[in-house]
Amino acid sequence: MKKSRGMMGYVVLIASFVIIALILNGAMGPARDPRIEYPQLLNAIREDNVKAVAIRNNALVGLYRNNSVTAEADFPEKGYDFETTIGDDFIDTARQMTATKNGKTLEEVSVSDLPFQVIYRAPVSVPWYVDLLPFIIMTVITLGFLYFLMARQSGGNSKVMNFGKSRARVSDPTKNQITFADVAGCNEEKEELQEMVDFLKNPKAYTDMGARIPKGVLLVGPPGTGKTLLAKAVAGEAKAPFFSISGSDFVEMFVGVGASRVRDLFAEAKKAAPSIVFIDEIDAVGRRRGAGLGGGHDEREQTLNQLLVEMDGFAINEGVIVMAATNRRDILDPALLRPGRFDRQVTVNYPDLEGRVEILKVHSRDKKLDSSVDLENIAKRMPFSSGADLENVMNEGALLAVRRRKNIISQQELVDAVARVQMGPEKRSHKVTEKDRKLTAFHEAGHAVLGYLLPDCEDVHLVTIVPRGQAGGYTLSLPSEENDGYRRNELIARITMMLGGHAAERTALEDISTGASSDIKRATELARGMVTKWGMSDTLGTMYLGSDEEVFVGMEFGHGREYSEQYAAAIDNEVKNLLDRCYKQALELLAQNRDKLDAVAEALLDRDTLNRAEFEAVMKGEPLPPKTEAESVKPAQEPASAAATFAPAQPEEDTGDAFTEPDTFRKQLNDSWAEFERSLKQHGVSAPQQSAGQEDAPADRTDNEE
């Protein structure tokens, strides 16, 4: 209803503009145009068709003798037949015409002798403001239109220039239905925030004891882990007013607006105390002062100063708890993080296996799941995933079920959704030359063989040369358990496995391609982390040479590098030596096991995809089971003579036909996991958990980008 009223207001304003413009242009006047030219008037006089004229200055109106359309009584004030503009010699001209017609001289003809009546009207002085009237009307309408727009933007009940009002959205405590029951995967974080809830419910118990409740809580963590949801749950549990605003809403182009909005926000929160003020993405306004070019006192710093004063200044701030969320704690101002402002910092990290299962249960409440759906299995496939990632997988599963015209979401849809989210959509229509297929097969075979031979590598569960996303193929390795850290030997094995694709191309094809660019990049980053951050270099020892702070404008101008050029050169040499050793080891292992490399590549060319059981059978020299009918279908190929292209593959639009029947990848992936879990259960070992990687840790999947 409100939207329709707003649209009606716009329609009325536009219609008013049009009507006024038409009026000012005379479009709403009489349909008959009485205007004639001066020669036409003289012709009418010659023909004796003029009955009367009225003259005012140089303007003349008149009546025709035979075709009068107005009553004589209305002339000349209300009606006339014609109008024109005359010169000062009009009367003399009319006298001359009459004299010539009657055979008289000009001196013998007076005005009374003319064949029509002449009326002289008194001159009318036009006020000066009449000429300005159109401009005045348009100015008033424009100002009214601006007032209407600004009133709507500010809620319809505030002043036109009220920029300093807070834009915080206030949620009604009686309507906020989000509680801690809706937040899963962060039990410790909820315990930290329970004190806030107790204070908001019963503040007198704390004040009587002389305790000071923390004034602020800063939620820190990667994007999508549920920081904003936790803040809403605190407000829902406490049934307290919840003022939410983004950090960017404080900053405007007008100086002082941000500080004014901060003052107004806290004034409103104090009126509704006990209440919660939640500032999302506080790094937009809370960045470290003095880091900009020139260290100027800009509008953002004024806003930050006002925020610091409101949180802990001379003014007493009772009953207002400030909560904020950010994923960039490193760039926040130190004054904002001290006790008395943000007393507590709650880290909301990626959930563990149990937490991921609980999150999946929360997001599956309103979805029609098959009874055979195993959410724990889905959670194992998504380690180091945020709550947003898990919600996205459940939504993708529902979309796939609808696309396949199913009435219920099965385990297959969820498994396919995990693969789709992590690795991108399948490119079933992508044409691949035989030359490219052979190159990709040896590349992925190199990754897989090294993953099998190196004792510190994770188990290889899937090898495929089917394009998916931007990768022409990939090798999927899964850890047996979720590790929070990695040993040196494990990292060296990972680097060696990453370089295995490049080494396999050189060993088998005696040539290299651009497909290993992603592998080389990630291997270099991992090696540099070992040297500069984790103290795994024998040459440099246990010295931290990295930086946790991401660079933003002005940061590097005030802070130089914390090590000398000598150490910079030593770091580069150590990283290169580490990569060279790993690459040399990869070449040696593949050369010693050339038969296994060729066998895996031939199996990939034959079947496109190998699950864990099939891959291990090839490595042991055992025969493979016969191909199924679905496995015998090859992707579209071009003639071998076609030119090979190694440009990064761009994502293509999916069609419904791609999901009509489960493809080879999905079937083999499920079979491998089922067989793997059954074998582990027979030996009393817990099932492995698929790792997607974590900060400063290498990725668990090796891709071959075309």
The tokens describing 641, both together, are: 């003579």
What span, in angstroms and rounded, lies between the C-alpha atoms of 221 and 218? 10
Q: What are 411-415's contacts with CB under 8 Å, separation 24+?
A: 411/370, 411/372, 411/373, 411/374, 411/377, 412/662, 412/666, 412/670, 414/373, 414/378, 415/378, 415/381, 415/666, 415/669, 415/670
At 370, phi and psi to the nearest 5? -70, 150
Say how far apart CA 102 and CA 403 lie, in whole Å: 101
d(CA 357, CA 362): 9
Enter the tokens of residue 279: 């500032």
Which of 525, 529, 526 shows the shortest CA–CA distance to 546? 529
> Does the annotation count 510 as an active-site position?
no
Residues 387, 576: Cα–Cα separation, whole Å: 38
CA distances in angstroms from 433 to 39, 430, 465, 517, listed in the order given: 88, 10, 12, 20
For 329-390, the DSSP string reads GGGB-HHHHSTTTS-EEEE-----HHHHHHHHHHHTTTS-B-TT--HHHHHHT-TT--HHHH
Rg (CA), the chain: 42
Strand-pairing partners, residue 53, are 62, 118
Q: Is 316 exposed, middle or buried (0-12, 13-18, 19+ CB in 10 A)?
A: exposed
Query: Which two three-digit tokens encode residue 173?
Result: 């405590």
The DSSP code for 274 is S
d(CA 100, CA 129): 47
Helical ranges in 105-209 per DSSP H = 133-153, 187-201, 203-209
Order the strands of the 50-56 sheet from edge to edge. Answer: 82-85, 59-64, 50-56, 117-120
Comparing CA positions, the residue from 351, 652, 705 lying closest to residue 518 is 705
DSSP state of 109: -
Alpha-carbon distances, residue 333 vs 288, 315, 328, 345, 643 (angstroms): 4, 21, 11, 14, 56
The Cα 69–Cα 75 span in angstroms is: 11
With beta carbons less than 8 A apart as the criterion, state whether 527 and 583 touch: no
* Closest to 116 (Cα-Cα) out of 70, 77, 65: 65
Which H/E stretch holds residue 220?
Answer: strand 216-220
> Exactly one of 189, 310, 413, 444 is catalytic; which is it?
444
Handedness of CA 562, 565, 567, 569 (dihedral sign): positive
**Which residues are identified as catalytic?**
444
